[in-house]
Structure 1
Amino acid sequence: MSELPDRRLLLVHAHPDDETINNGATMARYVAEGAHVTLVTCTLGEEGEVLVPDLAHLAADQTDQLGPHRIGELADAMAELGVTDHRFLGGQGKYRDTGMIYDDAGNAAVPPQTRPDSFWQADLLAAANDLVPVIREIRPQVLVTYDEFGNYGHPDHVKAHRVATYAAALAASRSYREDLGPAWDVAKIYWTAMAESALRTSLRKLRDSGDTTTFEGLDPDGPLGPFVTPDRFIDCVVPAAGYVDRKMNAMKAHATQITVDGPFFALSNNNGNEIWGDEAYRLVKGTAAPGPDGLEHDLFAGL
């Protein structure tokens, strides 16, 4: 597809705001460098908690209008990052936010009852078939999504991982669904990650500053949950110097979900590059091309 830039990045996320929290600086960087960045969001985030009191009526148990509102928040966030190609899997509202509960271990989990139109209940092949044509149209060299646990257990994150993984495999097969476009094999697939050392360092700085409530219960020197990735599994850290402000502005655009006095901004004070700026990834398909420090610093390294 000659009209597309040479470098093409596809990100598959579960809800509006996930993309900014996990990859906002990365997205802003590659847009600025001229790459084509495509975001596919799987749900409208209808079941999210509303943090703005004046908008509490939008919640799922009231007027149930949070989803349409979050379409606008996502558009504003993408404008901050410079991303012009953002889509919803299968179209706006096809798959509904499943919601979540917390299990006994403190991780997100599937609620005891889920709606038939929830993303969690969606047929895996049918959902993958909504992503295959996007892959074959954009022909990305790099795909970014979650790990098999969805980073913290949310059922929609887990499902997004499964859909992205399956769709990438199907898209590469020339004998699969010719009607969905010519086959395309994604060269490198990454999972988003929270690097253990970076989180521990930031937690220590918070505690040293006298903040004992942000991320209460997380001991900088104790065991951390499965949302943290040991450094030995980190393959790429995208340095985001110059793009942290754009990421923070995009996070502010997701106002119903992220508050400026919440943990994201607490961790950004004075050390934003360490925790919310620099973004870590695990390479799960393709060949790593690390630099002298043993890490990649470009998702397209080696391509």
Structure 2
Amino acid sequence: MTAATADQRLLLVHAHPDDETIGQGATMARYVAEGRGVTLVTCTAGEMGEILVPELEHLAADREDGLGEHRRGELADAMKTLGVTDHRFLGGFGTYRDSGMAWHEDGHAVGDPEVLAQHPNAFWNADLTDAADHLVAIIREVRPQVLVTYDQFGGYGHPDHIQAHRVAMYAAQLAAVPSYRHDLGEAWEIAKIYWGAMSESRMREGLRALRDAGDTTTFEGMDPDGPLPHFVTADTDLAAGVDATDFVDQKMDAMRAHATQITTDGPFFALSNNVGSQAWGVEFYRIAKGERGDLDDNGLETDLFAGL
């Protein structure tokens, strides 16, 4: 059985290697274990990412510019850990380049004008229809019932996350039109679309545990009782919480595979060490299309395929 031949099929669209594991790594591992099809589409190789391994700093974009190829290997290792066998780069590896980012004074990411000017194939520069067509072909081949991507702000404003959202949402519409691009396959409508989310209550609980443990540097500047960043979602806006705590170890091992981007003494592991598996074992979602199925006592779906 392949991802495309499983009875239930999930498609995830992410901007860079490591985004998928941080956001939905446990869900992916759980669904693979349950025999569901999981297909991951990554839009860029993350060429402009920060390099957290000193001996690999020579791969930086302003030196050898080899980070993308290295992260391609990290992603392959992470997917092997999660059990995901169907992974593609949008349009093929190297079609779209990481657009880079800078920080706005309001605390969210924005595009890097220098990178965008220097690299015409930066993902933010992509023609929306051209990029969407690459994904339309995948949607019509895999025929997923469920799609997961970012919200309209890309979680925290990164231009590639925002573009991935736009491409995914547009491609889902185009793929369902019977008269659109017959050469890309038979029309397919995705029944349910979700945007990945971070629960506000869980984030506050995690921050409180860190601060009570004397950790003031992890997620520095965030107050458990104060305003939280853009990527945190009010619990009232959540539609689903997938409990995949049995697969947290796989998720954490997959995060370790993204070694240039995630350190074991960084915030993700600090949160896990202080809060336990619940910090990353239940992954939350907002629903953007489709009808919700059965709900738990918290008013959440526990399965993205609920009702299908």
Same fold, TM exceeding 0.5? yes
Deviation at 1:240, TM superposition (A): 1.2
Q: Which amino acid aligns with 1:147?
A: D
Q: Which amino acid aligns with 1:227?
A: F
Alpha carbons 1:267, 1:275 under 8 Å: kept: yes
Distance 1:235 1:149 in 2: 18
Deviation at 1:241, TM superposition (A): 1.7
Distance 2:11 2:276 in 1: 25
Name the counterpart of 1:123.
127
TM-score (norm 1): 0.98
Name the counterpart of 1:241.
245
Alpha carbons 1:98, 1:118 under 8 Å: kept: yes
Alpha carbons 2:245, 2:278 under 8 Å: kept: no
Name the counterpart of 1:22.
23
TM-score (norm 2): 0.97
Alpha carbons 2:209, 2:274 under 8 Å: kept: no
SS in 1 for 2:124: coil
Alpha carbons 1:202, 1:274 under 8 Å: kept: no
Deviation at 1:140, TM superposition (A): 0.2
Distance 1:54 1:225 in 2: 32
Name the counterpart of 1:55.
56
Distance 1:298 1:162 in 2: 24
Name the counterpart of 1:75.
76
Alpha carbons 1:240, 1:273 under 8 Å: kept: no
133-142 vs 272-281, which moves further: 272-281
Could you say what the CA RMSD is over the residues aligned between the two structures, in angstroms?
1.2
Choose the corresponding residue for 1:274, options 273, 278, 282: 278
Do residues 98 (structure 1) and 99 (structure 2) align? Answer: yes
Q: Which amino acid aligns with 1:63?
A: E
Distance 1:299 1:253 in 2: 26
Distance 2:276 2:86 in 1: 27
SS in 2 for 1:219: coil
Deviation at 1:108, TM superposition (A): 0.5
Q: Which amino acid aligns with 2:148?
A: V
Deviation at 1:272, TM superposition (A): 3.6
Q: Which amino acid aligns with 1:23?
A: Q
160-169 vs 219-228, which moves further: 219-228
Distance 1:9 1:272 in 2: 27
Choose the corresponding residue for 1:170, options 149, 174, 188: 174
Distance 1:270 1:97 in 2: 33
Alpha carbons 1:145, 1:192 under 8 Å: kept: yes
SS in 2 for 1:243: helix
Count of residue correspondences: 303
Distance 2:215 2:109 in 1: 25
Superposed CA deviations along residues 148-185 of structure 1, whole A, max 9, x for unmatched, are 00000000000000000000000000010011000000
Deviation at 1:275, TM superposition (A): 2.4
Alpha carbons 2:296, 2:302 under 8 Å: kept: no
Name the counterpart of 1:33.
34
Distance 2:157 2:142 in 1: 29
Do residues 263 (structure 1) and 261 (structure 2) align? Answer: no
Choose the corresponding residue for 1:214, options 211, 218, 221: 218
Do residues 302 (structure 1) and 307 (structure 2) align? Answer: yes
Distance 1:243 1:136 in 2: 30
Choose the corresponding residue for 1:203, options 186, 202, 207: 207
Distance 1:174 1:132 in 2: 12
SS in 2 for 1:194: strand
Name the counterpart of 1:89.
90
Deviation at 1:273, TM superposition (A): 2.9
Alpha carbons 1:244, 1:272 under 8 Å: kept: no
Alpha carbons 1:9, 1:35 under 8 Å: kept: yes
Alpha carbons 2:102, 2:111 under 8 Å: kept: yes
Deviation at 1:270, TM superposition (A): 4.4
Q: Which amino acid aligns with 1:39?
A: L
44-53 vs 2-11, which moves further: 2-11
Structure 1 residue runs without a partner (length 5+): none
